[in-house]
Chains A and B, each alone.
Chain A
């Protein structure tokens, strides 16, 4: 089955700096790669996603890049703010074999120091 590895597990940055979180996946049939943000005690919420026919996608301070050949994708947060502090999960689908499901990475706890 699909395996998603995520690094680093914890990340501390100074407010205003950039943060980068990286994920690798194993299933070459995967086509959909979302990123979820989960604040303490709250539900995971989608912040950005990318599909396999696109190499990069941006939404204000957040961007995601995808390298299908290398099977890795990354989340980039620029000009970090204290409210960006949360746990971030990457995920990938299983391609056509089971398009309903996502496999999640192990999560990255991001702390933004004011």
Chain B
């Protein structure tokens, strides 16, 4: 039944050690999003894909990269994690443009030591 799956659910990495978070979806949605959510705050959009069309938010640090090799999978790469990157990372999908529900995955909790 799982529609948006994120792995791992919990990730611990060392300061400066690259880490990759993954997201997959069974909904065949065109759009995939990566959000960063810190405690008690709203989800903050990092970037999103409409199909293979990549859209970066202006304030997303260069330290964050993303790949979408096919419709089902999307990856978030953090090249050199800092302590400030510790957060919940949420993947979401939606059917397309024009106001559709975003379906969120369970999130990956990233800890940086």
Contacts and interface: CB of A to CB of B under 8 A. Distances in A.
B99 A107 contact: no
B41 A106 contact: yes
A45 B104 contact: yes
Per DSSP, are chain B's interface residues mostly helix, strand or loop, or mixed?
Answer: loop
Contacts of B45: 101-102
A104 interface: yes
Interface residues of B, number: 22
Interface string B93-113: 010111111101111000000
Contacts, number: 51
B1 to A, nearest CB: 14
Interface in A24-60: 31-32, 34, 42-46, 49, 51
Interface in A68-111: 87, 89, 93, 98-102, 104-107, 109
Nearest to B58: A1
Given A43-B107, A100-B55, A101-B48, A107 B101 contact: no
A89 B42 CA distance: 7
Contacts of B48: 100-101
Interface of B: 31, 40-43, 45, 48, 50, 55, 90, 94, 96-102, 104-107
Interface of A: 31-32, 34, 42-46, 49, 51, 87, 89, 93, 98-102, 104-107, 109
